[in-house]
Chains A and B, each alone.
Chain A
Amino acid sequence: MTMSDHLPVLILLAPLFGAVAVGLFGMREPRVCLPVTLAALGVSLWCAVGILLRIHDEGPLDYFVAGWEKPVGIGIVLRADAINSPFLLVIAVVAIFAALFAVRPTGERESGKTPHFFILFLLLCTGLFGITITGDAFNLFVLVEVSALSSYGLIAIGRTKRCKVAAFHYLIMGTVGASFYLIGVGYLYLKTGSLNMRDIHDILVSNRSLFGSRTVQTAFLFILIGIWTKMAFFPLHGWLANAYSYCPSSSACLLAPLSTKASVYVMIRIMVSVFGLDQVEANAAWGDLVVWLAVIAIAAGSTLALAQREFKKMLCFLIVAEVGYMVGGAWLGDSGRWGLTGSVYHLLADATMTSCLFLAAGTFAKHLGVVRIDDLSGLFSRMPLASSGFVIGALAMIGVPPTGGFFSKFYLIRGAIDAGEWIYIAALLGSSLVNAVLFFRLFEIAFFGKNPVGFHREQGPIEVPSERLEPPFHVLAPLLGAAALVILLGVFNGPIVEFIRTALLDPVTIVSEAR
């Protein structure tokens, strides 16, 4: 075996060892934190690329931890396929952007908590990689805990009281969600005697009566509700807006793009690899119900976004709407599985465009003190480059070609037409319209705002000279990088979607390969 066979485990070991290294050396010498973090994430990025290329050439990749291969289910398996490997890559890239942005974390500078911040940052990355690559239903729970605990820490590390309250609220909701997931997995284990996703699937498929069993149905329900709580699916979204808008910008740039998306990924993984798409699609009544819930989530998220005066809060409610897109798309149940394809593609697109927008919001908050939407006045003249990155993210959110946001909507709508879910199309288009209204209002303020003022937290509005105030390179680079990625995802949507569909159209190949 060569080192490249170990990529599935190296991808999460790199940030784990990085966290340990920061803990051992960073406490005394905080300057090592950033290089260690970037090096660890660089290794992860290299692993993600390697995994992607291997899957492209050879198909799904299994890694048996501790070598316990047979019989299936005695050990833990990590599995990378066409659904999760692109997401692994996006996690690595977005995390690197967030790390660069966090060079001097805004909130923590005075309190000297930089090492703590980077330890939690790397542990969160470990958790996200682990969630995405595991093939074991219980192991997934363990890594959800790693990422959840580090998220609470990253939110509460800010110095204001309200971010601690928001973290506490999130902690309660997150714990409830994770417990629900665990109860579901426990119930499944009662009926199948297995924790390995592939094994559970095989048992369910070869004993069809199990699908009618009350325990298995309850298990599915609890897993779903648990994950929905974690992804802030309306009406379980209450924790999200305060947690992501009050936490330090550098935490938000990692959490907002990735945390909810990882939960959406878990839902898709459970649908595809545990219960099986055939079974999910056979129960059209469930699908219809979930699509309706998604429509409500989209409508509510967009409406609440319209009502916000704070910039980051508005973005947070847009995330609630976007989660609705992905849940609805995954449950459309159209025969060509375009809805599900759209959802998986939107995972990638949404992670990158949310990253772009939160990096922009963080930049404006950090360097101009922008909190409210009205503070954006005169932004373009002062930060032309940063603002253009922001504009690209915003256009993707609206769904303007050639950004990724346009193509995900295209695939989602194609699925909805096939499935005849017109209400979902209406919600999708309505929400795009709301996004257009929201962002063009921002553009208007930012472009034509009469009175370019800065805002200082203590001193109130202050006159700021209208000369250029472009942020430093390490802040600008991730923002423009994310914007470029949004466009690249859109331009190369064809090959990406084709790759994703290799896993969705013939789930047998991913579920019972190597058997």
Chain B
Amino acid sequence: MNAKLSATFAVVFTGAVLLYAVSDFPDFGDPRSPANHGVSGGAPSASVYYIKNAYHDTSVPNLVTAILADYRGYDTLFETVVIFTAGMAIFAILRVLRRDDSGIPAAPDPAIDGDHHRIVVGVTCRIAVPLVQIFALYVVAHGHHSPGGGFQGGVMLGASFILIALSTSLRHALGRLSETSFIRLACLGILIYAGFAFLPLVVGRNFLDYGALRALFGTDGEEMARSHGIFVVEIGIALTVTSVMFAIFANLSSRGRLHGGL
């Protein structure tokens, strides 16, 4: 059968089924819809609970952060693991280790060594990179109060390293953040998140229950300990995201050769 025709048919059919269900949806923005208000017969609505109690439970004004890093912190841990897995899979697939490319001459390769004559670009980026990085750290730290957190800040931080590589050369960027270090950093991010989440087990509380770490943070209430706990795991997320971003870029742009790394 014609491949295009069958693909069109599959897409139209799937879309039609999805649209068929739409007629039955709750109204858009309806405050009494099941997702916003819960349904009789089930447990009290989680959304209503979050809105009423999230600040009280975690003393984090940004509801999204409280849900993401505390109530559903287990999901977020594994979202971070997904990113880590993606980074490791990229290495497994693309990375060419030195023994294999013995035949390649050491001639300059524009993909790796870059073009050193771009003065305007080079200087501009040199000025921009520290600003980007400071703002990235701000985004990581300010997730409690505004949109942001580890994923967003980590992406920016990763982008700043990519900017270094783009404006100078991959070799230069790898000099700042070598292959060994970013693999370690990616692991360290997961270790911070999962290891920190593991600590409450030591005092007999459940996994991820940061409230139990009151004594460690020296806070009066459990909610403040949760707030600090969220900050710690955001740092873990940021480390992993930063290094995986850069790892993917470095592997793709040098076809896995990463000259100058390791």
Q: How far is the CA of A119 from the CA of B74 in the complex (A)?
A: 20
Whether A146 touches B39, Cβ cut-off 8 Å, given contacts A16-B190, A66-B209, is: no
Q: Which residue of B lies closest to A200 (CB)?
A: B42
Interface string of B42-81 (1 = CB under 8 A from A): 1111110110000000000000000000111111001101
CB < 8 Å: which of A130, A139, A218 contacts B20? Answer: A218
Smallest beta-carbon distance A55→chain B, Å: 19
Residues from chain A with Cβ under 8 Å of B33 in the complex: 190, 193
Indicate if the CB atoms of A194 and B78 lie closer than 8 Å: no
Indicate if the CB atoms of A120 and B85 lie closer than 8 Å: yes
Interface string of A16-28 (1 = CB under 8 A from B): 1101100110011
Stretch in contact with the other chain, from B87-95, B141-149, B163-171: B87-95
Indicate if the CB atoms of B17 and A218 lie closer than 8 Å: yes
Interface string of A34-71 (1 = CB under 8 A from B): 00000000000000000000000000000111111001
Indicate if the CB atoms of A24 and B187 lie closer than 8 Å: yes
User: Any chain B CB within 8 A of the CB of A449?
Assistant: no
Residues from chain A with Cβ under 8 Å of B20 in the complex: 214, 218
CB < 8 Å: which of B40, B180, B201 contacts A206? Answer: B40
Interface string of B202-215 (1 = CB under 8 A from A): 00111111110000
Q: How far is the CA of A199 from the CA of B49 in the complex (A)?
A: 15
Whether A221 touches B82, Cβ cut-off 8 Å, given contacts A1-B204, A65-B208, A205-B41, is: no
Interface string of B152-191 (1 = CB under 8 A from A): 0000000000000000000000000000100110111011
Indicate if the CB atoms of B75 and A149 lie closer than 8 Å: no
Indicate if the CB atoms of A149 and B85 lie closer than 8 Å: yes
User: Any chain B CB within 8 A of the CB of A113?
Assistant: yes
User: Any chain B CB within 8 A of the CB of A3?
Assistant: yes
Stretch in contact with the other chain, from A151-159, A401-409, A426-434: A151-159
Indicate if the CB atoms of B37 and A67 lie closer than 8 Å: no
Indicate if the CB atoms of A123 and B17 lie closer than 8 Å: no
CB < 8 Å: which of A3, A67, A202 contacts B42? Answer: A202
Smallest beta-carbon distance B56→chain A, Å: 13
User: Any chain B CB within 8 A of the CB of A238?
Assistant: no
Residues from chain B with Cβ under 8 Å of A222 in the complex: 17
Q: How far is the CA of A199 from the CA of B46 in the complex (A)?
A: 11
Q: How far is the CA of A126 from the CA of B18 in the complex (A)?
A: 33
Indicate if the CB atoms of A192 and B34 lie closer than 8 Å: yes
Indicate if the CB atoms of B43 and A213 lie closer than 8 Å: no
Smallest beta-carbon distance B59→chain A, Å: 15
Smallest beta-carbon distance B124→chain A, Å: 35
Whether A63 touches B72, Cβ cut-off 8 Å, given contacts A145-B82, A193-B42, is: no
Residues from chain B with Cβ under 8 Å of A27 in the complex: 180, 183
Smallest beta-carbon distance B66→chain A, Å: 11
Q: Which residue of A lies closest to B20 (CB)?
A: A214
Indicate if the CB atoms of B183 and A23 lie closer than 8 Å: yes
Q: How far is the CA of A145 from the CA of B84 in the complex (A)?
A: 12
Indicate if the CB atoms of A138 and B75 lie closer than 8 Å: yes
Indicate if the CB atoms of A120 and B204 lie closer than 8 Å: no
User: Any chain A CB within 8 A of the CB of B220?
Assistant: no
Indicate if the CB atoms of A126 and B81 lie closer than 8 Å: yes
Indicate if the CB atoms of B81 and A139 lie closer than 8 Å: no
Indicate if the CB atoms of B21 and A111 lie closer than 8 Å: no
User: Any chain B CB within 8 A of the CB of A191?
Assistant: yes
User: Any chain A CB within 8 A of the CB of B131?
Assistant: no
Indicate if the CB atoms of B74 and A71 lie closer than 8 Å: no
Q: How far is the CA of A74 from the CA of B75 in the complex (A)?
A: 12
User: Any chain A CB within 8 A of the CB of B194?
Assistant: yes
CB interface residues, B 90-146, toward A, < 8 Å: 91-93, 95-97, 99-100
Q: How far is the CA of A145 from the CA of B33 in the complex (A)?
A: 29
Main secondary structure of the interface of A (DSSP, over half): helix
Indicate if the CB atoms of B49 and A149 lie closer than 8 Å: no
Whether A120 touches B89, Cβ cut-off 8 Å, given contacts A23-B183, A76-B75, A218-B20, is: yes
Residues from chain B with Cβ under 8 Å of A64 in the complex: 206
User: Any chain A CB within 8 A of the CB of B86?
Assistant: yes
**How many A-B contacts if CB must be within 8 Å?**
208
Q: How far is the CA of A134 from the CA of B70 in the complex (A)?
A: 17
Indicate if the CB atoms of A142 and B208 lie closer than 8 Å: no
Interface string of A99-127 (1 = CB under 8 A from B): 00000000000111100110110010010
Indicate if the CB atoms of B74 and A113 lie closer than 8 Å: no
User: Any chain B CB within 8 A of the CB of A215?
Assistant: yes
User: Any chain B CB within 8 A of the CB of A196?
Assistant: yes
Residues from chain A with Cβ under 8 Å of B2 in the complex: none
Indicate if the CB atoms of A139 and B97 lie closer than 8 Å: no
Q: Which residue of A lies closest to B79 (CB)?
A: A142
Q: Which residue of B lies closest to A72 (CB)?
A: B43
User: Any chain B CB within 8 A of the CB of A183?
Assistant: yes
Interface string of A194-237 (1 = CB under 8 A from B): 11100110110111000001110111011000000000000000
Q: How far is the CA of A327 from the CA of B104 in the complex (A)?
A: 52
Most buried by A among B18, B25, B75, B85: B85
Whether A149 touches B82, Cβ cut-off 8 Å, given contacts A6-B207, A65-B208, is: yes
Residues from chain A with Cβ under 8 Å of B43 in the complex: 71-73, 194, 196, 199, 202
CB < 8 Å: which of A20, A68, A116 contacts B71? Answer: A68
User: Any chain A CB within 8 A of the CB of B219?
Assistant: no
Q: How far is the CA of A142 from the CA of B76 in the complex (A)?
A: 9
CB < 8 Å: which of B18, B40, B201 contacts A183? Answer: B18
Q: How far is the CA of A76 from the CA of B73 in the complex (A)?
A: 9
Residues from chain A with Cβ under 8 Å of B40 in the complex: 206-207
Indicate if the CB atoms of B198 and A67 lie closer than 8 Å: no
Indicate if the CB atoms of A6 and B89 lie closer than 8 Å: no
Whether A13 touches B42, Cβ cut-off 8 Å, given contacts A6-B201, A143-B78, is: no
Q: How far is the CA of A345 from the CA of B30 in the complex (A)?
A: 45
Indicate if the CB atoms of B34 and A75 lie closer than 8 Å: no
Q: Which residue of A lies closest to B85 (CB)?
A: A149
Q: Which residue of A lies closest to B192 (CB)?
A: A20
Smallest beta-carbon distance A150→chain B, Å: 5
User: Any chain B CB within 8 A of the CB of A189?
Assistant: yes
Q: Which residue of A lies closest to B179 (CB)?
A: A27
Most buried by A among B36, B70, B96, B187: B187
Indicate if the CB atoms of B89 and A139 lie closer than 8 Å: no
Q: How far is the CA of A189 from the CA of B82 in the complex (A)?
A: 23
Show 24 A/B contacts (Cβ-Cβ < 8 Å), sorted by A.
Answer: A1-B205, A6-B201, A13-B198, A16-B194, A23-B184, A24-B187, A64-B206, A65-B73, A66-B73, A67-B206, A111-B97, A111-B100, A112-B99, A116-B95, A142-B82, A145-B78, A149-B86, A153-B92, A191-B24, A194-B42, A196-B43, A202-B43, A203-B39, A218-B20
Q: Given contacts A67-B211, A120-B85, could you give 6 more A-B pairs where the C-beta distance is less than 8 Å?
A: A1-B205, A6-B207, A71-B46, A191-B26, A202-B42, A219-B21
